[in-house]
Amino acid sequence: MDFIPINFYGNYIDAHIAKGVLEENDIDCWLKDENTVTIDPILTNAVGGIKLMVPKEKAGLAKQILESVRSEQKITVTCPKCGSHNIEPVNTPRKASNWFGAIVGFLTMNYALPVDTVSHCFDCGHEFPIEDEPK
């Protein structure tokens, strides 16, 4: 079976969320270069991030599923400053302590590390922490 990359991720948490979504929809998939990026985040750009690989014939469907999940997330997030829904999670530059954290996390298989991801409003530029559940 031919696998092709349909998306790229700068960290393993985003990559695993996407992989989980596809698996729930019965699409075979795997992550390429996950270990490289997790052990040495500085190589993320060099290898092009973690690649989400899916069977060639399912690529269109997989993209559709991920896109619909993304737009659902967009609607549920509101900018506290201007009220816009034009919000997307962005990764902020990693700090040195987090490289260390990523290595420790990899070695101890502890995947519950804090991530440097915030919600970014594309209308006013405001950035705010991502809330897990709407209250």
Q: Which stretch binds Zn ion (CB under 5 A): 43-51, 74-82, 90-98, 105-113?
A: 74-82
* Contact pick of 53, 79, 102, 119 for Zn ion (by CB under 5 A): 79
**By three-state DSSP, how is residue 71 classified?**
helix
5: amino acid identity, one letter: P
- The structure tokens listed for 28 are 């075979």
Residue 74 to residue 128: CA distance in whole angstroms: 14
CA dihedral 32, 53, 51, 4 (to 10 degrees): 110
* Contact pick of 39, 104, 124, 130 for Zn ion (by CB under 5 A): 124
For Zn ion, what does the binding mask look like between residues 6 and 45, x meaning CB under 5 A?
----------------------------------------
* Contact pick of 70, 74, 81, 95 for Zn ion (by CB under 5 A): 81
**Residue 46 touches Zn ion, criterion: CB under 5 A:** no
Residue 26 to residue 90: CA distance in whole angstroms: 28
Q: Which residues bind Zn ion (CB under 5 A)?
A: 79, 81-82, 84, 121, 123-124, 126
